[in-house]
């Protein structure tokens, strides 16, 4: 009897973390830092999922989940950004609503993702913009900047003019455009880098031996592996049917954006390195890249907006939809005004179209660090963390001798 009493006492001491060696102590169930309501909901749901594990092969979230027995603030932020909101686990879950456990992983993760964008924004005071970056604000900002530039051109007397053979710099000097958009671009990159740095330092401590670049993570991000729903058949959108259109429209959007960025980079090299100045011929590399990117950036946002309007309410956070649609609208307007400018650059309306296009592009860039664009940056960081983590042995050592 005395031996049994001693065993119980030792077990209690180990569970409380006050007895035995550090390696033998049980991981505490209570998180170290207080959680918000949305973080607490993710922690509650993942405790249930960790006991079930039916969805373990669906996406990266569930293998990463099984490496944890408790879910603190950093864990919920990491797993929320690892989630691609495909919706497959919701329709596969036996504990989903109307079950009393009310397990809805996509919705809970989406709510925490919005919180992470707010928490890691730089400068911190700008984090509140995530809650205001809706469709109305995006359109108002784009319209206001476009109107300002239109009035500026009109005051110079060149709003309607004789054809200028597509020479944009006859309206806005090259050095002026390079200075303004260069300064905005550098601020955007710095703000995103600072936010990502803060996120990375929380979810992946500096003493983690696995902190190193990982090519598989980049491969998974570039091909949107986890928008395949864990089985390759795609996401759920308006019901429990699978569709690959969300993945396809994301690809159109991302690679269209990158082609437009490549067009700008090539034109910059032409200008400064080879002393070849705009306007460029329709068959030149900058124009071909920009045209292909503009078409992709029109197809992708139109498709994503169509899916967003039809998306089932249980598949995400309704509070994020204005931010989603605002970003989609700016991307689409950037593409359409750019293509219109290319089509009518040799007409008397070129200055008007240029002012509108530059206003929309400026609005897009100014909102990048404080809108939906940030989700791609944080998701890539989470994928990198997952790729590093899965190479390491599990620290739980459950069942080990």
Pairwise pLDDT comparison (264 vs 398), residue with the higher score: 264
**251/245 Cα distance (integer angstroms):** 10
Q: How many CB atoms lie within 10 A of CB 38?
A: 20
For the cut 90, the answer to whether the pLDDT of residue 253 exceeds it is yes
Mean pLDDT score of the chain: 84
Q: Is the peptide bond before 123 cis (omega within 30 degrees of 0)?
A: yes
Q: What is the pLDDT of residues 25-83, one digit of tens each?
A: 344 444 456 899 999 999 999 999 999 988 888 888 999 999 998 899 999 999 999 99
Whether omega for the bond prior to residue 279 falls within 30 degrees of 0, making it cis, is: yes
Q: Which of 62, 46, 38, 61 is nearest to 119 (CA)?
A: 38
Percent of all residues in the chain with a pLDDT value above 70, rounded to a whole number: 85
Q: What is the pLDDT of residue 316?
A: 85
Q: Where are the alpha helices (DSSP H) in 53-104?
A: 61-65, 73-82, 88-92
- Give the tens place of pLDDT for each residue, 169-199: 888 988 889 999 999 999 999 999 999 999 9
Q: What is the mean pLDDT of residues 213-223?
A: 64
CA nearest 235: which of 222, 223, 248? 248
Task: Supply φ then ψ for residue 46, to 5 degrees.
Answer: -70, -25
Residue 59: per-residue pLDDT: 87
DSSP letter for each residue of 237-296: -SSS-EESHHHHHHHHHHHHHHHHHHHHHHHHHHHHTS--PSPPPTTSHHHHHHHHHHHH
CA atoms within 13 A on the CB side of 282: 8
Residue 116 has pLDDT above 60, yes or no: yes
Confidence at residue 125, expressed as pLDDT on a 0 to 100 scale: 82
């Amino acid at each position: 009897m005395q031996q049994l009493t001693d065993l119980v006492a030792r077990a209690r001491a180990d569970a409380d973390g006050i007895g035995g060696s550090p390696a033998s102590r049980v991981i505490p169930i209570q998180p170290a830092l207080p959680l918000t309501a949305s973080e607490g909901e993710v922690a509650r749901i993942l405790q249930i999922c960790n006991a079930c594990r039916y969805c373990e092969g669906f996406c990266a979230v569930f293998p990463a989940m099984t490496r944890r027995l408790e879910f603190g603030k950093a864990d919920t932020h990491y797993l929320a950004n690892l989630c691609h909101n495909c919706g497959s686990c919701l329709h596969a879950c036996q504990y989903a609503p109307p079950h009393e456990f009310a397990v809805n992983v996509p919705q809970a993760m989406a709510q925490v993702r919005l919180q992470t964008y707010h928490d890691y924004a730089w400068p911190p005071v700008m984090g509140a913009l995530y809650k205001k970056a809706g469709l109305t604000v995006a359109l108002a900002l784009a319209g206001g900047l476009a109107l300002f530039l239109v009035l500026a051109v009109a005051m110079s007397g060149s709003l309607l003019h004789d054809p200028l053979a597509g020479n944009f710099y006859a309206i806005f000097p090259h050095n002026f455009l390079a200075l303004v958009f260069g300064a905005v671009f550098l601020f955007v990159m710095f703000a995103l880098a600072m936010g990502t740095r803060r996120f990375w330092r929380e979810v992946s401590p500096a003493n983690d031996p696995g902190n190193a670049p990982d090519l598989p993570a980049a491969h998974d991000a570039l091909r949107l592996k986890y928008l395949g729903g864990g089985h390759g058949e795609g996401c759920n959108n308006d019901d429990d049917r699978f569709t690959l259109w969300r993945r396809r429209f994301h690809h159109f959007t991302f690679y269209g954006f990158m082609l437009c960025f490549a067009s700008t980079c090539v034109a910059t090299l032409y200008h400064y390195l080879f002393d070849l100045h705009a306007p460029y011929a329709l068959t030149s590399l900058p124009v071909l890249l920009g045209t292909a990117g503009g078409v992709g950036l029109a197809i992708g946002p139109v498709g994503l907006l169509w899916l967003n309007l039809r998306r089932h309410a249980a598949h995400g956070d309704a509070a994020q939809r204005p931010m989603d649609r605002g970003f989609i609208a700016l991307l689409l307007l950037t593409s359409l005004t750019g293509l219109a400018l290319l089509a009518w650059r040799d007409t008397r309306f070129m200055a008007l179209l240029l002012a509108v296009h530059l206003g929309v592009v400026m609005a897009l860039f100014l909102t990048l660090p404080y809108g939906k664009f940030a989700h791609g940056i944080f998701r890539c960081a989470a994928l990198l963390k997952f790729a590093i983590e899965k190479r390491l042995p599990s620290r739980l050592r459950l069942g080990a001798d």
